[in-house]
Amino acid sequence: MKIVFIGNFQVPYSTESHHKWTWEKMGHEVVALQEQTTTTEAVLASCQGAQVLQWTHTHSWPLGGRMSPEEMLVRVKLAGVVSFSYHLDVYFGLNTLDQRANRVGNHASWKVDHFFSTDGAHEAEYAAKGVNHHYLPPGVVEYGCFKGDFTPALASDIGFVGSTGYHPEYPYRTRMVNELKARYGNQFRVYTGMREAALNNTYASIKVVVGDHCFAGMPHYWSDRLPETCGRGGFLIYPRTEGMTIPTATYKPQDSRDLFDKIDFYLAQDEERIAIRDLAFDCVKANDTYTQRLQEILRIMGF
C-alpha cells in the first residue's frame, strides 16, 4: 500500500516519524511530506497511485499552495484515496495558548474522512462539529519497547519526565511538581529533553515515575506518557482513569495526598514495584504499540 503522509519529520522522535517507521515496518510505502514546506499541489500529485493520505497537523504550520487544503481533500477523495488523521491531543477545554478548541471541525485538517484521537470523552461534541471521530488510545513505537540501562547520573527515587509548565486551564501539573519538590527534596527530580534510548535509560534509573495528564480524571483519555513510560520499562504511578487497560499503579486524579501515599508505599515495596513494572511492560509490548494502533486504523477504514 502507498501512504502519503503530511506531518513533521524533522526529528526522529516525533509521533509522525514513529508512525512512518511503523508503516514501513508493516511493509507499506510512505511518501513523507513536511507540512510547512510542502504544497497542496505536491500532496495531490503524490497521491497518484496511493490508497491512503495521513495528515498530522501541527498548530500554526501552514500548508502552502495555490489550491486550498479543503479543495485538495476533495480532489484526494475523488481520486479514491482515503484520508485520515491520528492525534494524541485534547482539544475541548483548551483554547488559551493556541485556540485549538476553536479549530475543531473548522480547520481543513479536521475535514479528513476519518479523525482518530485519544480523547474518548467528547464523542457528542465531535459529532456536533461534523467530525467523523474515532476514539483510539495512544501507543509507543515498537522499537522503543525495551528496558534501558541503569545510569547513576540519572538515578533518583522519584522522577517526573516532561514539561512542568502547562496549559493554564489545567493548573494541577505545576502545583503537583511544586508539591513533590517541597515534600521529597533531593529525592525528587525533573527530567526534560530525554528522547529515544536516553529516555529508556532514564526510566531504568528512576524507582518511581510520577504520571499526569491534562484534565486527569476525565474518562477514556490518557496521554502517551502512559504507554511510553511503561513500554520503555519504567515504573509509573498514573492517574486512575476509566477505560485504562495498562496495569500500572494508579492514584486518585489531581489528589497529591493520595499520590504521596502511593509513592511512599511503592518506594518501600521493591518486589511489588518491579512485578507491576514488568507486567505493564509486557502488556504494552503486546497491545499498545503503534503497530497495533495503525493496524486498527486500517481495519476501521476498511482495508
Express each pLDDT in 222-260 by its tens digit.
999 999 999 999 999 999 999 999 999 999 999 999 999
CB atoms within 10 A of CB 182: 10
Q: Which residues of 217-256 are buried (b: 16+ CB within 10 A; e: fewer)?
A: ebebbbbbbbbbbbbbbbbbbbbebeebebebbbbebbbb
CB 115 within 8 A of CB 131: yes
| pLDDT computed for residue 130 by the predictor | 96
The amino acid that residue 176 corresponds to is: M
Distance (Å, rounded) from C-alpha 74 to C-alpha 253?
43
Going residue by residue through the chain (303 aa), what tens digit of pLDDT does each one get? 999 999 999 999 999 999 999 999 999 999 999 999 999 999 999 999 999 999 999 988 999 999 999 999 999 999 999 999 999 989 998 888 888 888 899 999 999 999 999 999 999 999 999 999 999 999 999 999 999 999 999 999 999 999 888 889 999 999 999 999 999 999 999 999 999 999 999 999 999 999 999 999 999 999 999 999 999 999 999 999 999 999 999 999 999 999 999 999 999 999 999 999 999 999 999 999 999 999 999 999 999
Taking CA atoms, 227 is separated from 26, 170, 259, in Å, by 20, 22, 19
Domains of the chain: 2-139+289-301 (3.40.50.2000), 143-287 (3.40.50.2000)
Phi, then psi, of 37 in degrees rounded to 5 = -120, -15
| pLDDT computed for residue 36 by the predictor | 96
| pLDDT computed for residue 60 by the predictor | 85
* pTM for this prediction: 0.96
